[in-house]
Structure 1
Amino acid sequence: MAAVVDTLTRAFDPDPILNWAFPPAAANREQSMAAFFRITTELLLEHGGQVGVAPEYAAVAVWSPPGEPALSELEQTRYFQRLADACGECGERAVALMRALDDQHPPGLPAHYHVMFAAARPEPAAVGRAVLLIRALLKLEELRGCGLYAEASSPQNRDLWLEMGLRRVGDEIVLPAGGPSLYPVWRAPDPPAA
């Protein structure tokens, strides 16, 4: 888990969404971001999620299967409290980010996998590995009959998803207090094999 969290923390360091949730001037920013990624990834894994990695953890993707994580109200409250406690002065914004993703998930989508995180280390070669990792995910046999949903954290990331065959879906997710937007993207389920 440590290598996954390290890659996510490094990759999202300059990201506009994470800079909103974990401002660069915040005390213990890196530790707070690492706690955010660890707690969220552990939650997804506890509910059937999976982690895909490129060699040497140059790129990482974390996703959950259709219908997961279907948290009870108590589980969600505990998750948000863990985030708030572990992320220190950034805890309130970390919780606001995750609430926004939950509250603004486009309604009525067919069964789908949800890619929570997809990232590459800042080294130049790693970005290509991230694209290869997502393309491999899109070809997984278990995706047959299910869609794929993600929230791109920047216009550049949105464009990468669109180049891989996804399309925009729903409204932009605008974070509170003048925060930046996330861009929901979607790939419809493959038609059944004849």
Structure 2
Amino acid sequence: MLITNTPDLTAVVETLTMAFGPDPILDWAFPRTTAHRDQWMAEFFRITTEMLLEHGGQVGVAPEYSAIAVWSPPGEPAMTGEQEAQYYQRLTEACGDCGDCGDRAVALMRALDEQHPPNLPPHFHVMFTATRPEPAAVGRAVLLVRALLKMEALRGYGLYAEASTPQNRDLWLEMGMRRVGDEIVLPDGGPSLYPIWREPDPSAA
């Protein structure tokens, strides 16, 4: 796994857009009946990944960007209220011609922030994991996540993520994570996300 804070952003966005096309969370934010849906989804992923990278985030990359993970280190993104408002405004404007998509993208990110379980020890937050729809990509994704879980920088820190489907949740659980907190239920009858957690390694504290 290559870890970088200067990835090929176009390739990252392409992988995220392809991977999350059938995802129920993105179906809620960007319904499949939406014209030019991939364009709006790509804007959402571009703006959010840029925001994370601007605040210390990193991207783990498998060969040819066939699988990626995007995460923030402990304490990040530590945005001021003004920076947070600017981020939400960028989302709204970028997806503003897509009906309610901009508002729903903001509602999604607000829900993740507001329902982040309190009182967790310092931790890495994995925002996205994704694979391209290629036969070899799934295996690469498993290897990438396993490499992420063994990453030297994790020593002494926890790891937190929100799985977007029960299947993804179960994959994380099989790799040593556990459920934490309540399901994050999106508004207007939207789907759920499943917070998952791995405790810091006490031997590395």
The normalised TM-score by structure 1 is: 0.98
Q: Per the alignment, in what secondary structure is the counterpart of residue 120 of structure 2?
A: coil
> Which residue of 136, 141, 150 maps to 1:139?
150
Amino acid in the other structure paired with 2:92? A
Q: Per the alignment, in what secondary structure is the counterpart of residue 8 of structure 1?
A: helix
Unaligned runs of 5+ in 2: 1-8
Q: Cα RMSD (Å) of the superposition? A: 1.0
Partner residue of 1:114?
125
| Displacement of 1:27 | 2.1
| Displacement of 1:47 | 0.6
- Does residue 96 (structure 1) correspond to residue 107 (structure 2)? The answer is yes
Partner residue of 1:63?
71
> Which residue of 160, 166, 170 maps to 1:159?
170
Unaligned runs of 5+ in 1: none
Q: Per the alignment, in what secondary structure is the counterpart of residue 160 of structure 2?
A: strand
Partner residue of 1:77?
85
Amino acid in the other structure paired with 1:32? W
93-102 or 127-136, which deviates more: 127-136
d(CA) in 2 for partners of 1:119, 1:181: 18
- Does residue 18 (structure 1) correspond to residue 26 (structure 2)? The answer is yes
Partner residue of 2:182?
171
Amino acid in the other structure paired with 2:17? T
d(CA) in 2 for partners of 1:134, 1:43: 22
Partner residue of 1:181?
192
d(CA) in 2 for partners of 1:9, 1:180: 19
Distance 1:146 1:25, change over 3 A: same
Q: Per the alignment, in what secondary structure is the counterpart of residue 71 of structure 2?
A: strand
Partner residue of 1:6?
14
Partner residue of 2:161?
150
Q: Per the alignment, in what secondary structure is the counterpart of residue 203 of structure 2?
A: coil
d(CA) in 2 for partners of 1:84, 1:125: 36
Contact 2:156 2:204 in 1 (8 A): no
| Displacement of 1:122 | 1.5
Q: Per the alignment, in what secondary structure is the counterpart of residue 192 of structure 1?
A: helix
d(CA) in 2 for partners of 1:162, 1:149: 12
Q: Which runs of 4+ in 1 moved over 3 A?
A: none
d(CA) in 2 for partners of 1:96, 1:26: 18
| Displacement of 1:160 | 0.6
Q: Per the alignment, in what secondary structure is the counterpart of residue 110 of structure 1?
A: coil
The normalised TM-score by structure 2 is: 0.93
Contact 2:66 2:131 in 1 (8 A): yes
Q: Per the alignment, in what secondary structure is the counterpart of residue 201 of structure 2?
A: coil
| Displacement of 1:105 | 0.2
Contact 2:59 2:70 in 1 (8 A): yes
Distance 1:146 1:13, change over 3 A: same
Tell me the number of residue pairs that the alignment of Structure 1 and Structure 2 aligns: 194
